[in-house]
A = this chain, B = another copy of it.
Amino acid sequence: MKEKILKLINEQKLNDLKKYLETINSADFPSLFEELEEDKSLIVYRILPKEKAAEVFAELDSYMQERLINYLTDTELKSVVDELFFDDEVDLIEEMPSNVVKRILKTVKPEDRKVINELLAYPNDTAGTIMTTEFIDLKENMTVEDSFAKIREIGLDKETIYTCYVLTVDRKLIGVLNVKDLLIAEPSNLIKDIMNPNVITVSTLDDQEEVAKMFDKYNFMALPVVDKEQRLVGIVTIDDAIDVLQEEVQEDFEKMAAVIPNDESYFKTSVFKHARNRIVWLILLMLTSIITGGILDNYENAFVSLPILVSFVPLLMDTGGNCGSQTSTLVIRGFSQDEIKLKDFFRVWWKEIRVAVLVGIILAIVNTFRIFIQYGFDQSKLAIVVGLTLILVVILAKSLGCILPMLAKKLKLDPAIMASPLITTIVDSCSVYVYFQLAVLIFGL
């Protein structure tokens, strides 16, 4: 792709280049621009037809958008902005630095500015911020034929075509129908006779994640967004819903790894920002693990007189951490997939305790064999102490792995913060304490 484009540019065959570019999917341009030098990218971008140029622009990440805008004249910028969807325009305004925003707003038509300002006013992460304000609206007394005429007149685009919404005069949503329904109906049928009056809607202030999950559940192509008076104000399309699902998953992964979530991509994030996103939890967790150290301090006499005890501390800490992380991950994921609910608390806990007993006993047996092999059969006391601790630690870790995310959910916090790093640190202190208590008891130290 790159070679062919460079060849056409060098040979000044701009018409051939234009034709060739039309065969490339808009989503492939960002990686193309990354490979090309800046001046070549600009030639390619300027040669694109107006509509495609806007499509390509919407695919670029904010860093590339900003650089591109700096090269464009005001007229060029206006033609891009005019072609953008309102939701893409709003994204752009939210992400650009203020001097660029000023240039963009200058190019926006006065009548559009109102819509943009309204969209900008919705709180973060709500349906209002991801919806498109362009959609096909019909009236209930239109015929199928009228409807096709209206669809052609509004102009169609992949984002908005497949579902049509039926509104009253004061824009209240009373029905929905698919292009499919129109296609199989008689041209003279009335919309009110073929529409589906059972519309599933979301409100502008609904959480974007909940909205995105509805797409997964109902297999919708688009969902209507209504205001408090049931008036249709926009639609969320499936492509935006997928983006939200991906974003939320990424956020969960980062939170669960004790990283503060970050919208930017890995490479675009500076070293300082990476360090900042990671240091907060690291300091917090480091300070928490002082407790475990303190407990060890208390048993100084025990391990000075029986130093072998120390060599099992890593094994107990690691196993506890891993068991807690297994359970907390399953519970956190269960929440986010609506498979586990708060009311299931005792069901989950009971299940985890039974799993823990099974797993704990197996681990204890494996470890006993290992102690006998490594240290001989006279270390049966040691095997008992480590084995019992293992079983207790696994039960504790799996309990906390279930209780803490549930508690977070109950307190309306994100369960993902109760992921393995935090649970590990808590389980650590408990396991060290149980271990040395048992050792003191059984060895009579």
Asked if residues B322 and A250 are in contact (CB atoms below 8 Å), the reply is: no
Asked if residues A25 and B363 are in contact (CB atoms below 8 Å), the reply is: no
* Given A200-B25, A330-B266, A216 contacting B311 (CB threshold 8 A): no
Asked whether any CB of chain B lies closer than 8 Å to the CB of A101, the reply is no
Asked if residues A326 and B259 are in contact (CB atoms below 8 Å), the reply is: yes
Asked if residues A218 and B25 are in contact (CB atoms below 8 Å), the reply is: yes
Asked if residues B424 and A253 are in contact (CB atoms below 8 Å), the reply is: no
The residue of chain B having its C-beta at the shortest distance from the C-beta of A239 within the complex is: B219
For chain A, residues 349 to 371, give those with C-beta under 8 angstroms from any C-beta of chain B. 351, 354-355, 358-359, 362-363, 366-367, 370
Q: Which of B271, B278, B287, B323 sits near A370, CB closer than 8 Å? A: B287
Q: How far is the CB of A323 from the nearest CB of chain B, in Å?
A: 7
Q: Which of B157, B300, B325 sits near A257, CB closer than 8 Å? A: B325
Which 6 residue pairs are nearest across A and B when measured between Cβ atoms? A257-B329, A293-B311, A292-B314, A275-B358, A219-B239, A289-B318
Asked if residues A286 and B367 are in contact (CB atoms below 8 Å), the reply is: yes
Asked whether any CB of chain B lies closer than 8 Å to the CB of A27, the reply is yes
A124 surroundings in chain B (CB, below 8 A): none
Asked whether any CB of chain B lies closer than 8 Å to the CB of A85, the reply is no
Q: How far is the CA of A415 from the CA of B221 in the complex (A)?
A: 33
Q: How far is the CA of A267 from the CA of B343 in the complex (A)?
A: 13
Q: How far is the CA of A321 from the CA of B179 in the complex (A)?
A: 54
* Given A219-B239, A257-B330, A279-B362, A271 contacting B355 (CB threshold 8 A): yes
For chain A, residues 248 to 288, give those with C-beta under 8 angstroms from any C-beta of chain B. 249-250, 253-254, 256-259, 265-267, 271-272, 274-275, 278-279, 281-283, 285-287
Asked if residues B355 and A274 are in contact (CB atoms below 8 Å), the reply is: yes
Asked whether any CB of chain B lies closer than 8 Å to the CB of A98, the reply is no
Besides A27-B217, A238-B238, A282-B363, 8 other A-B contacts (C-beta < 8 A): A157-B180, A161-B179, A253-B253, A258-B322, A271-B358, A272-B358, A304-B307, A318-B421
